[in-house]
Amino acid sequence: SKVPSITLNNGISMPQLGFGVWQVPDDEATTAVGHALNAGYRSIDTAAIYGNEEGTGKAIAASGIPREELFVTTKVWNTDQGHDAALRAFDESLAKLGLDYVDLYLIHWPVPAKDTFVDTYKALEKIYADGRAKAIGVSNFLPAHLERLLGETSIVPAVNQIELHPQFQQAESRAFHTAHNIVTEAWSPLGQGTLLGDPTVAGLAAKHGRTPAQVVLRWHLQLGNVVIPKSVTPSRIRENIDVFGFELDDADLADLARLDAGNRIGPDPATFDM
Ligand code: NAD
């Protein structure tokens, strides 16, 4: 496929575009991930809490694609935070995926009220040292949470996976990540579909003879973000990876920059403690 790779701060390559499986039931995940692998995706983003690591693992096994050509991400859930609990949760995730390593293991949310993310991260450092995750990182961490990790642990997170789309552009987090050599990975890159009807996006889609989803994904890629759009519809799965044959120009990017409205769709990481 023509998906470019970016190099993480430990030298590991990660496809800049992958396939997200949030809200895909376990029994449907096998089919959806199968479609994605057929369409050329090589990076899959799951999480323990999604309940579809087994279905994802089945699709990987059935594909026959050599393991080293795939990039698999999963995440430790909030209730499994803490050093020993995270180690146990990781074993369970690996077993469900049917793998002997993941490419990227993330802390799903900081849950600052529990104050366990530093201990949890130390478990990830152990997993990394044992070669069972090729890279480790975090998700939904605010700059203050990252500052704390940088001060109290030894491995700089490779990635911070955060909510990011044209209506929630996260300039402060992106600048912080760049300054510390952390890759920004965008979750809900399409705003969960909500911004595909936006007139600016629609206008740019018409200008380039592309779809609104393709315009939004192109915006992310040109910003340097990793993206993990989700769909269970085969035609959309193919559409979302077919974004390497056109380019937005500076005026297009400026038009999209003006859509930033501070519109968070998901929970606020400062307070989310489910
Ligand atoms: P998304 O922005 O990828 O939007 C997905 C929705 O957009 C689909 O359900 C569909 O309704 C629509 N859509 C997708 N492709 C389309 C197309 N080509 N044309 C028209 N509509 C289309 O939203 P998401 O699933 O929330 O985010 C993507 C992935 O990010 C998730 O699957 C998951 O892997 C990850 N994620 C992580 C976190 C986290 O806390 N770390 C939170 C949410 C999502």
Name the residue ranges covered by the structural domains of the chain. 5-193+223-231
Q: What is the mean pLDDT of residues 68-95?
A: 98
Long-range own/partner contacts, residues 140-143 (CB < 8 A, 24 or more apart): 140/108, 140/109, 140/110, 140/267, 140/269, 140/272, 141/107, 141/110, 141/117, 141/269, 142/110, 142/173, 142/269, 142/270, 143/172, 143/173, 143/176
Single pTM value for the model = 0.98
Span from the CA of 130 to the centroid of ligand 1 (angstroms): 32
Q: What percent of the chain has pLDDT over 70?
A: 100
Span from the CA of 230 to the centroid of ligand 1 (angstroms): 4
Ligand 1 pocket: which residues have CB below 6 Å? 20-22, 45, 108, 139-140, 161, 187-193, 196, 213, 228-231, 236, 239-240, 266
The reported pLDDT for the residue numbered 2 is 87
The reported pLDDT for the residue numbered 38 is 98
State yes or no: pLDDT of 144 exceeds 90: yes
Q: What is the mean pLDDT of residues 159-183?
A: 98
Active site residue 101: no
Which is the catalytic residue, given 50, 101, 105, 121?
50
Q: Which residues line the annotated binding site?
A: 108
Closest CA to 247 of 206, 219, 211: 219
Span from the CA of 232 to the centroid of ligand 1 (angstroms): 10
Contact 129, 91 (CB under 8 A): no
ipTM of the prediction = 0.98
Span from the CA of 11 to the centroid of ligand 1 (angstroms): 28
Q: Which atom of ligand 1 is nearest to the CA of 47?
A: 34
State yes or no: pLDDT of 81 exceeds 90: yes
* pLDDT range class, residue 1, cuts 50, 70, 90: low
Instruction: For a ligand 1 pocket test, name from 22, 164, 194 the mutation site with the most ligand atoms within 8 angstroms of its C-beta.
Output: 22
Fold of 5-193+223-231: TIM Barrel (3.20.20)
